[in-house]
């Protein structure tokens, strides 16, 4: 992932929460600053809403110099100041007590994991208690002067307090995401969310639609219950409710979208990375709702994809890419099909002496270097390594993946292999035999363990030619049918010799070797 893309993809849905690479203690401090600031803004707006309703519903002269003067100018400011200071102090204390583990530089315990996920709800209950106490004292101060105003002030306080607490809950969930991600990483926790997506949506609907509509209804009852409201004041109250409801609905909708879209985006971005080949891509689970379950589900899927790719890579290493691809396209089964292929057999000269006179590790190093050259040349010509047989290798051209001209490919691979071995392993003598003809290509073994191979006379012929080539100056021998099936350009690079009778074969074989060898 490039730097520009990383900067455009904030890990927690907002850049205010920092980067993934921050140490936990710095992450906690950033979280605490963001949490304190956003909760202060949210509840301040709620307090301003209550005060605004008080000054719109009640006569201004009575608030300034009349019977409500003490409640409006003394009790309300004092209660607001005390509750705000108490709330900030309480927030600092409880967050430090509930979330000690980042400062201590250790992963959370199971109880601390659960507590971390409960912090938004607990903070909401704490602020609701402050609203209950502060609102109760304030409305009581007004009710002492006129009990008739209590119902509308109580409902107004409850409505604004519910809006502030509802938005505060989502703000707390978003702010705590970096620590929630650490809590989820520490181990498995409960799978059922305390407040799920449905509860979020219902809560936002209540805050943005239900409470403003309730305000209109309460205002209607208040207007006809006794005291007449002037048209100008009624219009002002309606406008206040409408503008306030609009502001709250925009803020609540933005918070809800932020809360819900960030986990979805994290999964989508991770899917892009996974599709691009980064199989180690994982998502930091930071949501405690069903969206967090989606994030965990992606991680489980990514683990399975990664594991499947590791198994496939191992499978390819053991059987070769062509067999692996054929097995993916069609379910392997015992048996085979008749086809014409080119066969190349290559073997080291003096490997028995080598094993007897050198340490085993050194022998293995020589064999690996030898097979590295063999695999490179065979695959470069479209062939497939069917078997490694001690110090020898059997290569097939034309199966399991078909080739347009397997004979030409086998002959070209033999010439290239002979030159490469002389150049890269000059101290290792080899013999190379090439044949062409009809074989049965398929799976042999049992129902529980089988492997792909080719069986037929060309295989035996290539093996015999390999043994004979060890004594030939060219160190490469091919059978006449291979030249006959190859292109004229390729066969022109070979010299045709005499016929011989190979051990185990009835028909005589025409020998050929690279021209100039």
Domain boundary assignment for the chain: 21-264, 332-514
Residue 517's pLDDT is 64
The answer to whether 240 and 154 are in contact (CB under 8 A) is no
Q: Report which secondary-structure segment, H or E, holds 197.
A: helix 197-205
The answer to whether 492 and 372 are in contact (CB under 8 A) is no
The answer to whether 347 and 448 are in contact (CB under 8 A) is no
Rg (alpha carbons) of the chain, rounded to whole number:
41
Neighbours of 335 (CB within 10 A): 10
Residue 90's pLDDT is 86
Distance CA 91, CA 97 (A): 10
The answer to whether 139 and 68 are in contact (CB under 8 A) is no
The answer to whether 345 and 465 are in contact (CB under 8 A) is yes
Distance CA 196, CA 371 (A): 59
Residues linked to residue 499 through DSSP beta bridges, in sequence order: 510
Q: Label the pairing between strands 476-479 and 450-455.
A: unpaired
Residue 327's pLDDT is 67
Distance CA 378, CA 343 (A): 11
Distance CA 174, CA 193 (A): 15
Residue 463's pLDDT is 93
**pTM for the whole thing?**
0.70
The answer to whether 422 and 354 are in contact (CB under 8 A) is no
Q: Measuring CA to CA, how many Å separate 207 from each of 158, 289, 383? A: 11, 20, 70
Distance CA 75, CA 69 (A): 9
Tell which CATH classification among 3.40.50.12780, 3.40.710.10, 3.30.70.1230, 3.40.605.10 matches the domain 332-514: 3.30.70.1230
Distance CA 342, CA 412 (A): 11
Cis bond before residue 311 (omega within 30° of 0): no
Residue 190's pLDDT is 64
Using alpha carbons, select from 472, 1, 27 the residue that is nearest to residue 281.
1
Chunk the chain into consecutive blocks of 10 residues (it has 517) and report each block's average pLDDT, rounded to whole numbers. 54 73 80 90 90 84 88 92 91 86 85 87 92 93 87 86 89 88 78 75 82 76 65 75 81 84 89 88 85 88 89 76 71 85 92 69 87 94 90 92 93 95 88 95 86 91 94 93 94 93 85 87
Q: Measuring CA to CA, how many Å separate 229 from each of 119, 221, 234, 515? A: 44, 11, 6, 114
Distance CA 465, CA 432 (A): 7
| Degrees, nearest 5: CA angle 100-105-106 | 80
Q: What single string gives the DSSP state of each residue in 151-162?
A: HHHHHHHHHHHH
Residue 3's pLDDT is 45
């Amino acid at each position: 992932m490039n730097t520009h893309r990383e900067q455009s993809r904030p890990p927690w849905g907002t850049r205010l929460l920092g980067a993934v690479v921050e140490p936990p203690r710095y992450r906690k401090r950033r979280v605490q600053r963001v949490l304190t600031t956003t909760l202060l803004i949210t509840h301040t707006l709620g307090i301003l809403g209550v005060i605004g309703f008080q000054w719109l519903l009640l006569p201004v002269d009575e608030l300034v110099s009349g019977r409500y003067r003490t409640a409006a100018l003394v009790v309300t400011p004092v209660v607001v100041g005390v509750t705000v200071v108490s709330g900030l102090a309480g927030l600092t204390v409880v967050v430090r007590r509930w979330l000690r583990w980042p400062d201590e530089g250790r992963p959370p315990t199971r109880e601390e994991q659960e507590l971390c996920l409960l912090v938004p709800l607990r903070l909401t209950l704490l602020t609701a208690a402050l609203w209950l106490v502060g609102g109760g004292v304030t409305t009581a101060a007004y009710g002492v002067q006129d009990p008739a105003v209590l119902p509308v002030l109580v409902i107004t306080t409850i409505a604004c307090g519910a809006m502030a607490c509802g938005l505060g809950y989502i703000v707390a969930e978003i702010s705590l995401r970096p620590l929630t991600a650490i809590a989820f990483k520490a181990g498995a926790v409960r799978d059922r969310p305390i407040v799920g997506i449905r509860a979020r949506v219902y809560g936002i609907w209540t805050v943005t639609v239900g409470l403003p509509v309730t305000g209109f209804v309460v205002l209607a009852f208040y207007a006809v219950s006794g005291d007449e409201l002037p048209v100008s004041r009624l219009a002002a109250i309606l406008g206040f409710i409408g503008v306030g409801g609009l502001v709250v609905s925009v803020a609540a909708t933005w918070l809800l979208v932020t809360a819900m879209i960030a986990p979805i985006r994290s999964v989508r971005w991770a899917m892009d990375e996974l599709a691009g080949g980064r199989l180690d891509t994982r998502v930091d689970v930071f949501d405690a709702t069903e969206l967090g379950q989606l994030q965990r589900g992606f991680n489980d899927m990514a683990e399975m994809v990664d594991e499947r790719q590791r198994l496939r890579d191992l499978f390819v290493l053991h059987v070769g890419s062509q067999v692996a691809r054929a097995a993916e396209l069609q379910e392997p089964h015992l048996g085979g099909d008749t086809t014409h292929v080119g066969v190349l057999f290559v073997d080291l000269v003096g490997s028995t002496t080598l094993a007897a006179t050198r340490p085993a590790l050194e022998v293995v190093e020589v064999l690996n270097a030898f097979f590295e050259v063999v695999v490179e040349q065979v695959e470069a010509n479209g062939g497939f390594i069917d078997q490694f047989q001690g110090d020898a290798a059997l290569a097939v051209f034309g199966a399991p993946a078909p080739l347009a001209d397997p004979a030409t490919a086998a002959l070209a691979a033999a010439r290239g292999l002979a030159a490469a071995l002389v150049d890269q392993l000059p101290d290792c003598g080899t013999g190379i035999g090439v044949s062409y003809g009809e074989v049965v290509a398929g799976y042999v073994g049992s129902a529980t363990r089988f492997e792909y191979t080719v069986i037929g006379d060309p295989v035996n012929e290539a093996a015999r030619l390999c043994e004979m080539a060890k004594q030939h100056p060219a160190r490469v021998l091919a059978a006449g049918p291979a030249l006959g099936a190859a292109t004229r350009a390729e066969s022109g690079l070979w010299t045709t010799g005499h016929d011989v009778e190979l051990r185990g074969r009835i028909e005589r074989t025409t020998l050929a070797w690279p021209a100039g060898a």
